[in-house]
């Protein structure tokens, strides 16, 4: 008979999380830089972790924030940006190539291990499209063509 004790997982609502952050002294209006979080971690590790988690959630909600003026969407510039996405895909045996740019839609061809992989749709949206739109916010979609 196992003597391990199971710990129930409690899911907190947004209001409960905001209340807990306020109790811990998280400044909701301040964006903490890495250096500030490192210093805070030395004295208040739990608070630093909460702030880092909060900021990561915010970043995930705003993945396509463009700073300044968007550069022109040229084939050469896009290929350079796609190299970053290729590096991520190559780690798992995948690859991609640029097929065409049609208005604000970028068409790529996933290759290698990406062909037939059930995660390829997620990789296309969460990796390739995110990287492309970070540099070229005018791109509305990245599509895989076969």
Boundaries of every domain in the chain: 14-61, 75-144
Q: What is the pLDDT of residue 59?
A: 66
Residues in Cβ contact with 141 at an 8 Å cutoff, skipping those fewer than 6 apart: 104, 105, 106, 129
Distance CA 108, CA 77 (A): 15
For range 7-15, the mean pLDDT: 74
pTM score, two decimals?
0.54
**What is the residue-averaged pLDDT of the chain?**
82
**DSSP characters over 59-97:** HHH-TT---SSPPP--HHHHHHHHHHHHHHHHTTTEEEE
Distance CA 64, CA 73 (A): 16
Domain 75-144 has CATH 3.30.300.130: yes
Least confident of 4-8, 89-93, 108-112: 4-8
pLDDT above 50 for 118: yes
**DSSP characters over 37-48:** HHHHHHH-HHHH
Q: What is the pLDDT of residue 68?
A: 60
Q: What is the pLDDT of residue 63?
A: 44
**20-24, 56-60, 119-123 — which one is most confidently predicted on average?**
119-123
Phi (first) and psi of residue 8, to 5 degrees: -70, 145
Q: What is the pLDDT of residue 65?
A: 45
Express as a percent the part of the chain with pLDDT over 90.
23
Question: Maximum Cα–Cα distance for the chain, whole Å?
Answer: 66
Q: What is the pLDDT of residue 1?
A: 57
Q: What is the pLDDT of residue 87?
A: 87
Nearest-CA neighbor of 142 among 89, 85, 90?
85
User: Tokens 């590790």 map to which residue?
Assistant: 45
């Amino acid at each position: 008979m196992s003597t391990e004790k199971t710990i129930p997982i409690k899911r907190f609502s947004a209001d409960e999380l905001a209340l807990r952050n306020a109790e811990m002294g998280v400044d909701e209006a301040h964006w903490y830089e890495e250096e500030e979080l490192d210093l805070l971690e030395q004295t208040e590790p739990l608070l630093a972790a909460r702030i880092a988690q909060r900021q990561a959630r915010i970043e995930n909600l705003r993945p396509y924030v463009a700073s300044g003026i968007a550069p022109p969407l040229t084939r050469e510039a896009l290929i350079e940006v796609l190299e970053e996405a290729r590096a991520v895909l190559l780690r798992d045996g995948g690859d991609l190539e640029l097929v065409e740019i049609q208005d604000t839609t970028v068409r790529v061809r996933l290759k290698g291990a990406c062909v037939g992989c059930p995660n390829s749709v997620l990789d296309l949206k969460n990796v390739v499209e995110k990287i492309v739109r970070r540099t070229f916010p005018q791109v509305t979609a990245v599509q895989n063509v076969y």
